[in-house]
Amino acid sequence: MPARAFLPQEVIAAKRDGDILSATQIASAVQGICDGSWSDCQLGAFAMASWLSGLNRQECVHLTNAMAASGTMLDWSGMALPGPVVDKHSTGGVGDLVSLVLAPMLAACGAVVPMITGRRLGHTGGTLDKLEAIPGYCITPDIQKLQQVIRQCGLAIVGQTETLAPADRRLYAVRDVTATIDSISLITASILSKKKAAGIDYLVMDIKLGNGAVSPDLTRATQLGCWIREVAAGMNMTCSALLTDMNQPLSSAAGNALELVQAMHYLRQDQCPPRLHQVVLALGAELLQISGLADDPAQAGQMLQDVLQSGRAAEKFGQMCAALGGPSDFISHFQNYLPAADCVRPVYAAIPPGELRYVEQIDTRALGWTVVRLGGGRAQPDAVPDLRVGLSHLAELTQPVTSETPLAIVHARDEGAYQRAAIAVREAFQLADVQPFAPQQILACLQAGHPHESKTWQPHI
């Protein structure tokens, strides 16, 4: 006998009044999202009722499972893949190019990585936008092509297709305009429904906190990490969460092609920025351990170092790039393929000649919005980002600067855009006479299997 279909107003009223919704009520709501029988105003009311009354963890599990099942569910079990199916997800930051380098490193370590990623959201960067800078790279392959690339390369970094968790796509769009985007339970369901639909068994979350993060508060970031981990467990997905600092850009570049350049330098080991490397190793080592590919932190860290230094991680990225339509020699000749801005000029600190200052504070969110205003993001939903523009050679916290030290190099369309960005960059950096202490990059690890415990992270290498 089919399950009862509840009227929208029945479900909305129940949640408004603080009732715990049953799996059937939630399934009815998700069905209404998909078939259009729930209007946008009813969906907005449901989101607001959920925001005000809250969803408990079991309700969140029901909602996540229902949204995952609203479209195509990828199943890798019959493909005789060589390793566990894993993924990493970040809550978003500035200069955060971890996905571009960690996915091929994990694949080179023996994991299988079907990474469904997204576009820029607000001031934070999007991995999908960065990949669009590669000529010919197909960011939305059909399911058959995705499976082929996974079999061939062990990884694919692509975007959400129309058939993957479509209920989440519509609910997210309504949340975006109804002041319900910051509900922890709805954030959790949105993230995990896509991971469940992608067939992920093991997940590591990078929960950013700081002035450049969506969650600037440690308490809220910890709560989000615990929710995601516990709801994942309720869906038979093993998940750990790391809390990482976003009080400064994670890498020295912010902008689509510019971050891709830095990712290629990292994979080729031309450059190895310490803070970026620390986060990559921490996330990767945690995922290798929970998926059973490594026994302990030391072994996991050494595996990641080995695939970097041997060039196997770079080879994996190159294989994926070619398989998805990009240049076959991208790794070795990426400079020939990536677009460059017309106006590239440094921004210097306003310091008297001969004097020394130190970077004391960075308004990371402001730098992210500077990239958007340069054209690197979407001021309007239908805008096409300029993949060339952004900021590079960004100064770091505690760094000594003089009148001849660039705070950043601006990559702009023209002189006017450069001048406006230069003002914003200078305003984003606060300088001091005394060198401050360096901030801690990895703040905590909320480990899988311990839903109410966390530990201070220790280096794996």
Q: For this structure, is 194 an active site residue?
A: yes
What the block records as the tokens of 82 is: 């060589």
Please pick, among 15, 62, 88, 388, the residue that the annotation labels catalytic.
Answer: 88
**What phi, psi does 229 have (nearest 5°)?**
-65, -45
C-alpha to C-alpha distance for 262 and 275, rounded to whole angstroms: 13
C-alpha to C-alpha distance for 390 and 379, rounded to whole angstroms: 15
C-beta of residue 300 within 8 angstroms of C-beta of residue 254: no
Helix 312-323 to helix 143-153 angle (10° resolution) is 150
Q: For this structure, is 208 an active site residue?
A: no
**What phi, psi does 442 have (nearest 5°)?**
-105, 120
Instruction: Give the closest residue to 99 by CA, choosing from 155, 24, 35, 173.
Output: 155
Q: For this structure, is 87 an active site residue?
A: yes
DSSP-assigned states of every residue in 284-341: HHHHHHHTTS-SSHHHHHHHHHHHHHTSHHHHHHHHHHHHTTS-TTHHHHGGGTS---
C-beta of residue 77 within 8 angstroms of C-beta of residue 46: no
Q: Hey, what amino acid is at 458?
A: Q
Please pick, among 120, 130, 194, 229, the residue that the annotation labels catalytic.
Answer: 194
Please pick, among 70, 117, 127, 238, the residue that the annotation labels catalytic.
Answer: 127
Q: For this structure, is 130 an active site residue?
A: no
Q: For this structure, is 460 an active site residue?
A: no
Q: For this structure, is 195 an active site residue?
A: yes
Please pick, among 169, 195, 208, 277, the residue that the annotation labels catalytic.
Answer: 195
Please pick, among 15, 62, 89, 275, the residue that the annotation labels catalytic.
Answer: 89
Please pick, among 62, 70, 87, 193, the residue that the annotation labels catalytic.
Answer: 87
C-alpha to C-alpha distance for 141 and 122, rounded to whole angstroms: 25
Q: For this structure, is 62 an active site residue?
A: no
Q: For this structure, is 222 an active site residue?
A: no
Instruction: Give the closest residue to 127 by CA, choosing from 108, 155, 166.
Output: 155
DSSP 359: E
Please pick, among 50, 90, 99, 124, the residue that the annotation labels catalytic.
Answer: 90
CA angle in degrees (0–180, nearest 5) for 410-415-418: 30
C-alpha to C-alpha distance for 317 and 157, rounded to whole angstroms: 10
Site of tokens 């530990």: 455
Q: For this structure, is 455 an active site residue?
A: no
Instruction: Give the closest residue to 196 by CA, choosing from 324, 68, 300.
Output: 68
Known catalytic residues are: 87-90, 127, 175, 190, 194-195
